[in-house]
Amino acid sequence: MNNIKKIGLVIFVVVSILSIYGCTKNDKNSDALKFKEEYEQLNDKKMGSSDNKYPQVAIDSNNNVKYADIDLLLDVLNNGSGVIYLGYPECPWCRNAVPVLLEAASELDMTVYYMNMHDERDTIKVNEDGSLEIVNEGTEGYKKLLERLDSILSEYTLEDVHGNTVSANEKRIYVPLVIFVRDGEIVGYHADTVESQTNPLKLLDKDQKNELMDIYLNLMHKVLNDVCDSEC
C-alpha cells in the first residue's frame, strides 16, 4: 500500500471515529436541552385558569436525561439496569423532584430514562349515579407499563359526588415515580418527594432537598451494586 493510500485510510478511520463520537455526544446534548426546555418553559406561567404559577425549576443543560419510548423502558425493566423517571412538566410534584434527581444522577454519572406521562395514562371519572366513565383511553404502551409495574403501583382511586373513595378497578402510575433497576430487577422505587412536603407549590427547602437526595443516591447505589446492604 503506497503512502497516499495509507494516509487516506488513516483519515477515513479518524473521521469515522469522530463522527460516531460526535453523534453520541450530540444525541445526549439534544435530549438534555430538550428536557431543559420542556420543564423551564413553564416557569412564571399560570397553572390553567388559577392564579397559581408553576413552581420555578432550573435544569442543567448538561443533565443526564435520555428520552425513552415504551420499548426502551420495557427493555431496561426486563433486561437492563438504570434509573427510570416517569412524570411530566405540568406536575408540580415533578418540578420539585426533578432538579434533585438530576443532581444525584450527575454525581454518580447515571443516565435517567424519561417518559412524559401526560398523554399516556387513561382518565376515569365517577358519574352522579356512581358509574365509572373513561374520559381518555390510556395508550397501549401505558397498559404494558401497568402490567410490568403492577407490584409497585397503587390502586387508581377517585372521589364521587358525596366525597366517597371509589376504586377504578385498576392500578395507576402516579407521578413523579422514579424506578431503580439492576439486571432486569426493580431494586427500589420512590414516588412523590418527601413526606414533609404537603404543598408542591412551595419549593422544597434545604433539609427536604437533602432528604430526597439521600433517598435517590441510596437507590442509585443499589443499581450500581457498589455498597453493602444489611445482608452483606
C-alpha span between 103 and 209 (Å, rounded): 11
Among 68-82, 198-212, 218-232, the minimum mean pLDDT is found in: 218-232
- Residues 185-219 have pLDDT tens digits of 999 999 999 999 999 999 999 999 999 999 999 99
Residue 67 pLDDT exceeds 60: yes
Residue 121 pLDDT exceeds 50: yes
pTM of the model: 0.86
pLDDT at residue 15, as a whole number: 43
- Residues 2-60 have pLDDT tens digits of 655 555 544 444 444 445 444 444 566 899 999 999 999 999 999 999 999 999 999 99
pLDDT at residue 10, as a whole number: 44
* 3-117+175-224: CATH architecture: 3-Layer(aba) Sandwich (3.40)
Bridge partners (DSSP) of residue 123 are: 136
Place of cell 430487577: 185
Angle at 206 between CA 205 and CA 212, to 5 degrees: 90
- Residues 96-113 have pLDDT tens digits of 999 999 999 999 999 999
Q: What is the DSSP string of 100-150?
A: HHHHHHHHTT--EEEEE-TTTS-EEEE-TTS-EEEEEPPPHHHHHHHHHTG
Residue 179 pLDDT exceeds 70: yes
- Read off φ and ψ for residue 24, nearest 5 degrees: -60, -45
pLDDT at residue 18, as a whole number: 44
Collapse the DSSP code of 197 into the 3-class scheme (helix H, G, I; strand E, B; otherwise coil) and give the result. coil
- C-alpha cell belonging to residue 138: 390510556
Collapse the DSSP code of 191 into the 3-class scheme (helix H, G, I; strand E, B; otherwise coil) and give the result. strand
- Read off φ and ψ for residue 196, nearest 5 degrees: -75, -15
**138 membership: H or E segment, kind and range:** none
Mean per-residue pLDDT, 126-134: 95
Q: Where are the domains of the chain?
A: 3-117+175-224
